[in-house]
Protein backbone atom coordinates (compact mmCIF):
# COMPACT_ATOMS: atom_id res chain seq x y z
CA UNK A 1 0.00 0.00 0.00
CA UNK A 2 1.26 3.43 -0.88
CA UNK A 3 1.31 6.25 1.58
CA UNK A 4 2.44 9.81 1.56
CA UNK A 5 3.78 11.67 4.49
CA UNK A 6 4.50 15.30 5.10
CA UNK A 7 6.88 16.76 7.54
CA UNK A 8 6.69 20.45 8.05
CA UNK A 9 9.75 22.15 6.66
CA UNK A 10 11.16 18.96 5.25
CA UNK A 11 8.83 17.97 2.49
CA UNK A 12 7.10 14.84 1.38
CA UNK A 13 7.91 11.26 2.02
CA UNK A 14 6.87 8.48 -0.27
CA UNK A 15 6.67 5.01 1.10
CA UNK A 16 5.10 1.67 0.50
CA UNK A 17 4.28 -0.89 3.13
CA UNK A 18 3.33 -4.51 2.85
CA UNK A 19 0.34 -6.32 4.22
CA UNK A 20 2.01 -6.67 7.61
CA UNK A 21 3.18 -3.11 7.72
CA UNK A 22 6.71 -3.91 6.65
CA UNK A 23 8.50 -1.15 4.78
CA UNK A 24 9.07 -1.95 1.11
CA UNK A 25 9.97 1.49 -0.19
CA UNK A 26 10.78 4.62 1.77
CA UNK A 27 11.88 7.67 -0.17
CA UNK A 28 12.13 11.29 0.72
CA UNK A 29 11.89 14.06 -1.80
CA UNK A 30 11.24 17.73 -2.12
CA UNK A 31 8.90 19.42 -4.49
CA UNK A 32 9.92 21.97 -7.05
CA UNK A 33 9.64 25.24 -5.18
CA UNK A 34 9.03 27.18 -8.36
CA UNK A 35 6.03 25.03 -9.23
CA UNK A 36 4.80 25.20 -5.65
CA UNK A 37 4.83 28.98 -5.83
CA UNK A 38 3.30 29.18 -9.29
CA UNK A 39 0.52 26.75 -8.46
CA UNK A 40 -0.25 28.64 -5.28
CA UNK A 41 -0.44 31.94 -7.13
CA UNK A 42 -2.59 30.36 -9.84
CA UNK A 43 -4.97 28.90 -7.27
CA UNK A 44 -5.30 32.18 -5.40
CA UNK A 45 -5.99 33.96 -8.65
CA UNK A 46 -8.62 31.67 -10.16
CA UNK A 47 -10.50 31.07 -6.94
CA UNK A 48 -10.55 34.79 -6.22
CA UNK A 49 -11.63 35.60 -9.73
CA UNK A 50 -14.41 33.11 -9.37
CA UNK A 51 -15.49 34.53 -6.03
Q: How far is the CB of 21 from other proteins (least distance, A)?
A: 6
Residue 22 · residue 15 · CB < 8 Å: no
Could you tell me the smallest distance in angstroms from the CB atom of residue 34 to other proteins? 8
**Shortest distance in whole angstroms from residue 32 CB to other proteins:** 7
DSSP secondary-structure letter at 22?
-
Q: Which residues bind other proteins (CB under 8 A)?
A: 1-9, 11-12, 14-15, 17, 21, 23, 29, 31-32, 34-36, 38-40, 42-43, 46-47, 49-51
Q: Kindly state the DSSP code that residue 18 receives in the 8-state scheme.
A: -
**CA quadruple 39, 42, 46, 49: dihedral sign:** positive
Amino acid sequence: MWHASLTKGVGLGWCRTGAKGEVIIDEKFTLDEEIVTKLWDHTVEVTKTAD
